[in-house]
Structure 1
């Protein structure tokens, strides 16, 4: 079974409403969906390419947040 296919963009966006605070990390997504951090990063990058989330790196951690289109 391909966990990447099970972690849908909408499910990741819904996670922003469930996690305390305005940002997520790939670790938050990986923990919530029991997937690898790489799968979580790929899904977040996909959402960023669609303009639904944005990100910035700080001290080798990437923080993701919803855009107005997300």
Structure 2
């Protein structure tokens, strides 16, 4: 498992609405090709590991529902 303390997590620019937010670790994705995703309200909770294609799909679905 990746140490969450050493990762830099990034929220969407839309996340200042006070709602549910997803964060991701872009440097980890660039280095490994895997996209780590977590719930911003539970920073010590579990991470999802997505492929780049799965991440792109998740982002596309989120954009289509905003």
> Which interval holds the TM-score relative to the shorter structure?
0.3 to 0.5
Where is the strand percentage greater, Structure 1 or Structure 2? 2
Q: State the TM-score, normalizing by the size of structure 1.
A: 0.33
Structure with the greater alpha carbon radius of gyration: 2
Q: State the TM-score, normalizing by the size of structure 2.
A: 0.34
